[in-house]
Amino acid sequence: MILYVAEDVALPKLQKHKINSWIKETAAEYNRKIGEIAYIFCSDKRILEVNKQYLEHDYYTDIITFDDSKGSIISGDIFISIETIASNANEFKVSFEIELQRIMIHGILHLCGQDDKMPEQRIEMTRKENLALKRLHDIMFF
């Protein structure tokens, strides 16, 4: 089950049925199945609070993924700052929708065991995000 929750912002417009299919397909590529995933869309203020409270980090971020996966079943809470997504979309000269989709799948890739702490890992994560975004485009338009 995939839930979409807005804490202190408006819920972004999503084609949930297609997004859910995309997420399930992406997880399957890593031999994983979807358990309980909660996307929590929030403000910069809220994600900073979460970052401080749970990770002891005093900085803003676009996404925080809490992994509650068991074996091949991925589950977790994925906090996404809508304000940072908008700022990043502007900085990277992409649409808000594309940046949001990239960050949404980024969280799923983390739950599937992908890491991005090292430079080589970040490059590989971006490659995997791009592949997933292409697949979503195919789902959305075909």
User: What does pLDDT average to in each consecutive run of 10 residues of the chain (142 residues)?
Assistant: 96 93 94 97 97 91 95 97 97 94 96 91 92 84 59
Task: Provide the pLDDT for residue 142.
Answer: 54
Q: How many helices (H) and strands (E) does the chain have?
A: 5, 4
Q: Read off the pTM.
A: 0.92
CATH number at residue 62: 3.40.390.30
pLDDT at 76: 97
Angle at 124 between CA 110 and CA 24, to 5 degrees: 45
54 exposure class (CB count in 10 Å sphere: 0-12, 13-18, 19+): exposed
pLDDT of residue 117: 87
Report how many domains make up the chain: 1
Could you tell me the residue range of the domain that residue 61 belongs to? 2-141
